[in-house]
Amino acid sequence: MKKTIQNGKYRYRPVLFFALTYLFTWIFWIPAAFVPGETGAPLMMIGLIAPAVVSTAFVLLSGSDALKKDLKNKLIGFYKVRWANVFLAVGVFALIVAVSILLSLAFGQKMNQFSFTDDFSFTGVGVGSALITILAASVIEEVGWKGYCEDSIGNYMNWFWESLLFGVIWSFWHFPLLFIKGTYQAGLMVNPLYVVNFFISGIPLGYIITWVYLASDRSILACMIFHLFVNFMQEKIAMTPETKCVETIVVIIATVIIVMKKKDMFFETRHVGRLPDEVSIKGEMSK
């Protein structure tokens, strides 16, 4: 990694981060598509932790004390979490699911979607591996995406455009999972509409999780909790693929409302070009 300290100040490198994250994820996920059943589970898990590994390496090798201190604070600064906002976000997503199911009734879907599924969608990797994967995706992923990624993009633009760019890149990061038998994404291949919906749905979610992140003073724990709840709801609530298409529309509407309510958060530029120790995060970025 080239030296990134110029004139005594660290410069974020989001393009290199995403290139390495994709590389070290996909070199494990692509082979996993060609091995049978649970044999691919270790490869999937290694690929899943790639963002966290790359993110941590970027911070530790940055030569910036500010970034190292900031990562530590985001990981262990539990006091920073604004629980009321986390619970609000969880409640918003639960409402999104409920409204989506109710709207789907007009399209011939059933009320029994208000129930829990018996199994996980990750059937090909075993129940144990499925549960671990869901937990890891909620916890380990956020170390990568919030440890370095989002701030690296946000250092060059406001949080509105950062959320859009992150949502697109994060969504497409899952692409190889379409070809790994037994994954949730592979199950969508029965209908191109389901595949398209999956990738589109990740974009508005990028805005919602940015809201959770900033409102809790950039706490990784807050994002882990929200991500875990979203994964659980998507896996265990018996929504049909058709209803999840309706859900994407509802998520987009919710995102528009959140962005309009939090205009100063999403459109401010006070943080652009500044390191964590140069901006009063609590006072300026969580409004």
Beta bridge mates, 6 = 9
pLDDT score at 122:
60
Distances (CA, A) of 163 to 137, 210, 218: 19, 7, 14
pLDDT score at 131:
66
Round to whole Å and give the CA distance between 231 and 225: 10
Round to whole Å and give the CA distance between 263 and 61: 34
Using DSSP, state whether 61 is helix, strand or coil: coil
Round to whole Å and give the CA distance between 276 and 287: 16
Catalytic residue status for 141 = yes
Q: Which of 174, 242, 268, 284 is catalytic?
A: 174
pLDDT in tens, the chain (287 residues): 444 555 457 999 999 999 999 999 999 999 999 987 677 878 988 999 999 999 999 999 999 999 999 999 998 877 778 999 999 999 999 999 999 999 999 999 999 999 988 776 665 444 445 666 677 778 899 999 999 999 999 999 999 999 999 999 999 999 999 999 888 899 999 999 999 999 999 999 999 999 999 999 899 999 999 999 998 898 889 999 999 999 999 999 999 999 999 999 999 999 999 988 776 444 444 44
Q: Map tokens 């956020």 to a residue.
A: 142
Round to whole Å and give the CA distance between 125 and 128: 8
pLDDT score at 5:
58
What the block records as the tokens of 266 is: 């999403």
Cα 95-101-107 angle, rounded to 5 deg: 145
Rounded to two decimals, the pTM is 0.89
Q: Which of 141, 142, 150, 247 is catalytic?
A: 141
Q: Map tokens 């970027």 to a residue.
A: 58
